[in-house]
Structure 1
């Protein structure tokens, strides 16, 4: 079944963004395929991964009807240009760069910038971001998310960092609309060993955990 909706709708519906950082070309496609098999519908390739733009372009062709493909660690306009040229459908960063938000808006590409403080969240929203990435959540904790969510409940927040199978529901109960997940979801040791069934099983355990939210 083909994906339907814009990027914000897909983010709010599917709730998990898989972060692929340092994935090697030799097993990248099989890793993505396993994540999709497990129910993941948004995949972010970080721009500091070797061959990132090639993977984005290839995955748009291979997996375009099954998952949205975006770029992560888009810290400046130069990287944004490279990612969009490769076909990225969304851009995610660890930082707030209003120039990147403006660039994405001009081209119809969703930008979910990294923020930490209430001031940064509101600044990103006013600049045109439809959602923000609260980072680093592993350090900030769900209590922080819950506190800032109260006055900023109109802004969709994706929480990134510290999410695992035991606490993922806590993130949503604290007010996250989605979560970004790296190593706890995408085990590159399994990928390099060719154990893609384990990646698919882990992905399914996470998508099952949030199905009724």
Structure 2
């Protein structure tokens, strides 16, 4: 079994979720996100021709941003992701085979969890970080309760129904990793629209987490 891949130390632990993006838009939009300060980007596999989008984005900005796929459900998809230069795997569930294959490829893994049982299983499987989803349903209090039984070094991400308005609430429980979807990118958004949204989010994150090393 491959060793778990540690979540990187980033200035801003924000995952841009680009669901619905097309290959013709991918590089330009990711470029805008990188310029504004994003270091992680996820293109879900239920987007149009996602592997082409990932390949183009990774070729253009893979040295400045960890780019990968979301909604990854099968080990074969992990192999394909590796072929196109993906280095981040996000999934809605915990599949030990998927996590193991991703670790073999040296990818960061962020499986979806909601309960203590799922969270502990994901940790046991070697996940780089946990994706608490939908985060807005659990809220800070629910995640804090589960966080209490996890290893102290566990990286906890919150995805689903969160925005820059949520940052302060989750900082109170020492959580600073977030996945941002429709409030950052919606299908059809221009690169300039994404830039303005990204700038607002980065400004809010920096204000809340100004004391981060």
Q: Which residue of 1 aligns with 2:104?
A: 106
Instruction: Identify unmatched segments of 5+ residues in structure 2.
Output: none
Unaligned runs of 5+ in 1: 1-5
Separation in 2, partners of 1:200, 1:165: 10
Alpha-carbon distance in 1 for matches of 2:95, 2:40: 22
Q: Quote the residue 2:58 is aligned against.
A: 60
* C-alpha displacement of 1:112: 1.3
SS of the counterpart of 1:166?
helix
State the partner residue of 2:170: 171
Equivalent residue for 2:127, pick from 116, 129, 134: 129
Kindly state the Cα deviation for residue 115 of structure 1 after the two structures are TM-superposed. Answer: 1.0
User: Secondary structure of 2:26's partner?
Assistant: helix
Query: 1:78: how far off?
Result: 2.5
Structure 1 partner of 2:136: 138
Judged with a 3 Å threshold, the aligned counterparts in structure 2 of structure 1 residues 9 and 99 are, in CA distance, closer, same or farther, namely same
The answer on whether the counterparts of 2:134 and 2:159 sit within 8 Å (CA) in structure 1 is: yes
**How big is each residue's C-alpha offset from its partner over 1:72-110, in whole Å with a ceiling of 9 and x where there is no partner?**
111222322221221110101011100011111222112
Find 1:93's aligned residue among 91, 94, 97: 91
Separation of aligned partners in 1, 2:50 and 2:6: 20
Residue equivalent to 1:18: 16
Aligned-partner SS, 1:91: strand
170-179 or 111-120: which moved more? 170-179
CA contact (8 A) 1:45 1:52 kept: yes
- Give the whole-Å Cα distance in 1 for the aligned partners of 2:195 and 2:180: 18
* CA–CA separation in structure 2 for the residues paired with 1:180 and 1:121: 17
Distance 1:153 1:128, change over 3 A: closer
Instruction: Report the Cα distance in structure 1 between the residues aligned to 2:175 and 2:68, rounded to whole angstroms.
Output: 20
> Which secondary structure state, in structure 1, belongs to the residue aligned with residue 38 of structure 2?
coil
Q: Contact conserved, 1:187 with 1:199, CA < 8 A, in 2?
A: no
Does residue 181 of the first structure (1) align with residue 209 of the second (2)? no
Shifted more, 43-52 versus 22-31: the winner is 22-31
CA 1:108–1:25 in structure 2 vs 1: closer, same or farther (change >3 Å)?
A: closer
User: Which position in structure 2 is the counterpart of 1:46?
Assistant: 44
SS at match of 1:209: helix
Preserved contact between residue 115 and residue 134 of structure 1 (Cα < 8 Å): yes
Given that 2:157 and 2:178 are in contact with CA atoms closer than 8 Å, whether structure 1 keeps it comes out as yes
* Of 75-84 and 55-64, the range deviating more from structure 2: 75-84
TM-score (normalised: structure 2) = 0.86
